Structure 1
Amino acid sequence: MPYAGVALLSGVVASLGTAAALQSRDGEGVRAYLLQNPEVLQEAMDRLRLKQVAAQIEPYRRQIETPFAGAWIGAKDGDVTLVQFFDYACGYCKASLPDVQRLVREDPKVKVVFRELPILSRESEVAARASLAAAEQGRFEVFHDAMYAAGRPSPETIAAAARKAGLDQTKLQTAMNTPRAEQELGKNIELARTLGFTGTPSWVVGNQVLSGAVGYDALKKAVEAARATS
């Protein structure tokens, strides 16, 4: 094994608090330890990945965690913020809704921020714009739930969700096409690209990112991990 490689592994293992890795300068102690404890390398790689993700998130944290108008649920001043990038045409996003609702119901200190990421269809972009308008009218949560209940985005389902949310139709049409809505959608696309998201739902919580319909337990675990390191 090249000495540079031994030195790198020594550093990795030492960073995990393993004095045994430093027993032999020629690397035999390192090699023997790693052969007996291969999980050390996985742990080191996991820590490295978390550090890399945290470095990606931190410069944009305020943009990521600050909601557009009223596009959030849960605790207003929660100690942990869970951010979901979503698309109304995404079946996995719809499937995740009960998990998010349960998390908010059972954890009074968590705040969930929703970021529109309409990447699946033209209709999902129209639904996203209507959702932003609902957020500005203080009716986001009702519209959000109604939109998923109505079915895939279409002129009919969007109108039905807007009626359910009690939105002012005139204000709705105007708000859907404002520069502010355009800027919000553009910002979310750029954030998703920066964070390496390739689909929805995608999540940010603390220094972690999650992809897909990960389920209640994974979301709860991520929130608890963020809370433990805050």
Structure 2
Amino acid sequence: MRQHIFTAILALVFGFVGAGLWSLSGLGQTRTRDYLLANPGILNEMVEALKDEQSGERLAAVGDELYDPFPGAVRGNPQGSRTLVSFTDHACGYCRQSEPDVRRLIAEDPELRVVVREWPIFEGSEAAARMALAAAEQGRYDAFYQALFELGQPTTATIARAAEAAGLDLERARRVADSGEVAAELARNEQLARSLEFVGTPAWVAGDRILQGAVGYDALAEAVKQVDGA
């Protein structure tokens, strides 16, 4: 994807900047190249502008469904005026690495609503995703979410221990985890992730910004700050 973006940027640069320089000062492609080498920040700015435009188009295509969570699968303030959407997998090390950043954002911003979309793409993580949604149905999503990440990789044992730590009604949770509603939610999240062209977890949406990977607290905070209501 990065190669495609770079190629598109070069085409734009030589198509518009090069043409403009030629018409204004008689300079050709060689001088345009020299200009770009002396001002490399232009390329970075154009790359970011193109990425933002493409992100906006993909977000418009998926619509408001992205922000409509599975009942209870929300962290922070469920009625908050700023929304961060998080696609996560409990077997993902980068998701675990990002967890302190998300907790910090929630602690610092009482208006932050974090919609979590369970996207189990790693082997063995679907059982954890199903139990997480079962915890959401009982209003214990955040407790289960944090407990499982603290216990490490999801296994039958760690999922059971996280469910116990979250105070779940286990019989009820197992029924919900195996339900058609949970299966439909996982399928929905898969489709949303593919439509947004995510390549892995974690992946984030804040307003019209898309971020992928363990981008760190500063990048997430800056993206959230741009959301309407900030």
C-alpha distance in structure 2 between counterparts of 1:22 and 1:78, whole Å: 52
* One-letter amino acid of the structure 1 residue matched with residue 111 of structure 2: K
- Relative distance call for 1:33 and 1:75 in structure 2 (3 A) is same
Task: Decide whether the 8 Å contact of 1:6 with 1:27 is kept in 2.
Answer: no
Name the residue aligned to 1:70. Answer: 72
Give the % identical residues: 42
Name the residue aligned to 1:17. Answer: none
Name the residue aligned to 1:186. Answer: 187
Query: Structure 2 regions of 5+ residues with no counterpart?
Result: 1-11
Name the residue aligned to 1:99. Answer: 101
Asked if residue 9 in structure 1 is aligned to residue 17 in structure 2, the reply is yes
C-alpha distance in structure 2 between counterparts of 1:84 and 1:116, whole Å: 8
Q: Displacement of 1:226 after TM fit?
A: 2.9
Task: Decide whether the 8 Å contact of 2:76 with 2:112 is kept in 1.
Answer: yes
Query: Structure 1 regions of 5+ residues with no counterpart?
Result: 14-20
Secondary structure of the corresponding residue to residue 117 of structure 2: strand
The one-character-per-residue Cα deviations of 1:60-92 (angstroms, maximum 9, x if unpaired) are 241221111111112223232111111111111
Asked if residue 150 in structure 1 is aligned to residue 151 in structure 2, the reply is yes
Name the residue aligned to 1:113. Answer: 115
C-alpha distance in structure 1 between counterparts of 2:155 and 2:44, whole Å: 46
Secondary structure of the corresponding residue to residue 226 of structure 1: coil
The one-character-per-residue Cα deviations of 1:169-226 (angstroms, maximum 9, x if unpaired) are 2211110111110111011111111112121111111112112211111110111133
The one-character-per-residue Cα deviations of 1:88-137 (angstroms, maximum 9, x if unpaired) are 11111111111101001001222111110111113x10011001011011
C-alpha distance in structure 2 between counterparts of 1:158 and 1:184, whole Å: 19
* One-letter amino acid of the structure 2 residue matched with residue 8 of structure 1: F
TM-score (norm 2): 0.84
Name the residue aligned to 1:171. Answer: 172
Task: Decide whether the 8 Å contact of 2:69 with 2:117 is kept in 1.
Answer: yes
C-alpha distance in structure 2 between counterparts of 1:91 and 1:164, whole Å: 21
- Relative distance call for 1:47 and 1:71 in structure 2 (3 A) is same
C-alpha distance in structure 2 between counterparts of 1:213 and 1:63, whole Å: 24
Q: Which moved more, 1:131-140 or 1:143-152?
A: 143-152
Q: Displacement of 1:33 after TM fit?
A: 6.0
C-alpha distance in structure 2 between counterparts of 1:74 and 1:204, whole Å: 16
RMSD over equivalenced CA pairs, Å: 2.6
C-alpha distance in structure 2 between counterparts of 1:99 and 1:5, whole Å: 37
C-alpha distance in structure 2 between counterparts of 1:125 and 1:110, whole Å: 27
Q: Displacement of 1:55 after TM fit?
A: 0.5
Name the residue aligned to 1:24. Answer: 24
Q: Which moved more, 1:206-215 or 1:140-149?
A: 206-215
Residue 43 of structure 1 is aligned with which of 36, 41, 45?
45
Name the residue aligned to 1:16. Answer: none
Task: Decide whether the 8 Å contact of 1:87 with 1:118 is kept in 2.
Answer: yes
Name the residue aligned to 2:5. Answer: none
Secondary structure of the corresponding residue to residue 113 of structure 1: strand
Task: Decide whether the 8 Å contact of 2:62 with 2:195 is kept in 1.
Answer: no
